[in-house]
Structures are given as structure tokens and as C-alpha cells.
Amino acid sequence: MKIMCLNGWGGKLHEGLLPYVESAAPEILCLQEVIHTPASDKDWLTYRDGDHVLPQRANFFRDVSSALPNHVAVFCPAAQGVLWDDDQSIPSRFGLATFVHESVPIIGQVQGFVHKSYSPVGYGEHPRSRNAHGVRVYDYSSNRSISVTHMHGLRDLNGKMDTPERAEQAHRLLDLSRKITEPDDLIVVCGDFNVEPDSETLRILMEAGLSELVTVYGFTSTRNTQYIKPGKFADDMLVSDVGAVQGFDVVHDPEVSDHCPLVLSL
């Protein structure tokens, strides 16, 4: 089974991202920074937050769903705010999505918040609402159940340092994972955690019995040349049994976001 985790950057590089995920064909795709704008048929809208202005693929969730027509697609909104079409404001939802190939039965599912709660009117003040989604599936090739839970971690305007809010979201992420995990399941927890490898977040997850893969496999960055700020880590993937890992890669080429796809083979 192939599991991919990726922050999609709002679909900014969707022309490369869509054929990449189609050809990579993961059984499970965990995707963060997903835009869903049912009120608009525009291809592109603009996100504005002070000096932070970013083009957004208006219906990124629909785009990826179309690229993976044989996957069950679940969108999990964290907030509904506003994107812009020139001077016109358009309500748009921001969150994460999970795509599971139809050959893989979903036998459990959980969705919840790791920070704050759903923000129905506006994206909110930083640090904003964050959620997580988990699925429990049955893998016939290995005759076992696997739980896969992912989140988009807090973005703190002051940086990626440890904070009480980040520690709390790590515990909430674990709680959500445990809700769908049964004894003898293989556990996968992943996402754009927005932290460094020596963070309290990863320490909490590892103390719960999970093994971190990015640095263990020798990767020195989960970012690519699209990301020009200092700090080259953000994303990670952890598993409960490293012996089940057949391969793990942080994909720097092609560049389909300012984050690298994390690809786990079990």
C-alpha cells in the first residue's frame, strides 16, 4: 500500500500536482491546504491576509477529485472565510482532504479539531482553527487494518517554536488517531505539522510509540525551491511499526507545491 501526505499549497502549482498524484497513484492521499468554493465557478481566486497575498485554486478539492476518479474523497473544512475575485469577496472553505482508493475499504473514520473549532464566518485570528481527519482501512495485500490520521498543524506568526497550543494539538491528534485504532492495527500519523524535527510535537508523538521517518531516513528538508524562507522542515510521517515499512521518500522532484510529498510504501 502506498500512502502519500502533501500540503497542496492551495493548488498554486496544480498543473503539475494533478498529473503527479494521478501517476503516483497512492491508495491513500492525505492532502492539506485544500480550497473548496462551491459558490464560485472561477478557476482562480486570491487570498489576502495583510501583506500575504496568494493565488488559490478556487475548487482545488474538485480538481484533485477529478484527477483521482476512483478514490473516495472526503473534504474536512476548518473554516469558511473570504477569497477575492478582484474587488468581489466570495465565501470559500479551507481545510484538508483524504482520498482513499475504492479498492481499499474504509472501516472506520474520525474527524475533529486539534485547535479551536470550526470558524463559520472568517478564517479567524492567528493561530487559526486546525482540524484532523483519520481513516481506518483494511489492506487485503497484508491482511491487516491500518489507521491513517493527518492534520495541518498550527501556523504561528512568531515561528515554529514549541508552544502550549502546539503541545495540546499533538495530544488531540493522538486522541483522534486512537479513536479509530484497534489492537494490532498498523498506525500512521502524518501531516504538515509546521514544526522542526526536535519539536515537542514530534516528541509527544514518539513517546506514544510512533517512529518518525523523515530524519531517520536521512532527509534534511521537506521543502523545495518554491519555499524561500528560512527553515526547511514542516512535514513528517510516523508509524507504529518500522518493520512494516518497505520504502519511504521525500519527493523533491517534481515540485508540485512548496512542500515535498511524503510517500510511504507498506
Q: List CB contacts of 73: < 8 A, sequence separation 6 or more.
A: 61, 64, 65, 97, 98, 99
Rounded to whole angstroms, the Cα distance separating 165 from 201 reads 10
**Residue 170, phi then psi, degrees to nearest 5:** -65, -45
Q: What is the pLDDT of residue 230?
A: 86
- What ranges do the domains of the chain cover? 2-265
Largest CA distance in the chain: 54
The answer to whether residues 127 and 194 touch, using CB atoms and an 8 Å cutoff, is no
Residues in the chain where the model's pLDDT stays below 50: none
Classified as helix, coil or strand, 224 is coil
Q: Which stretches of the chain are DSSP H helices? A: 14-24, 60-67, 164-179, 200-207
CA distance 16 to 94: 21
Architecture label for domain 2-265:
4-Layer Sandwich (3.60)
**Could you tell me the pTM of the whole model?**
0.97
Strand 144-152 versus strand 186-192 pairing type: parallel
pLDDT of residue 233: 96
Question: Of 115, 248, 125, whose CA–CA distance to 188 is shortest?
Answer: 248
| pLDDT at 11 (0 to 100) | 97
Write out the three cell numbers for 182.
Answer: 484497534
DSSP state of 198: T
**CB-CB contact of 91 with 111 (8 Å):** no
3-state secondary structure of 27: coil
Q: Give the pLDDT confidence of 16-64 residue by residue, as tens digits.
A: 999 999 999 999 999 999 999 998 999 999 999 888 898 999 999 999 9
Beta strands in the chain (DSSP E): 2-7, 28-36, 44-49, 52-57, 71-85, 88-101, 106-115, 130-139, 144-152, 186-192, 211-212, 235-239, 247-250, 262-265
**Per-residue pLDDT, 174:** 98
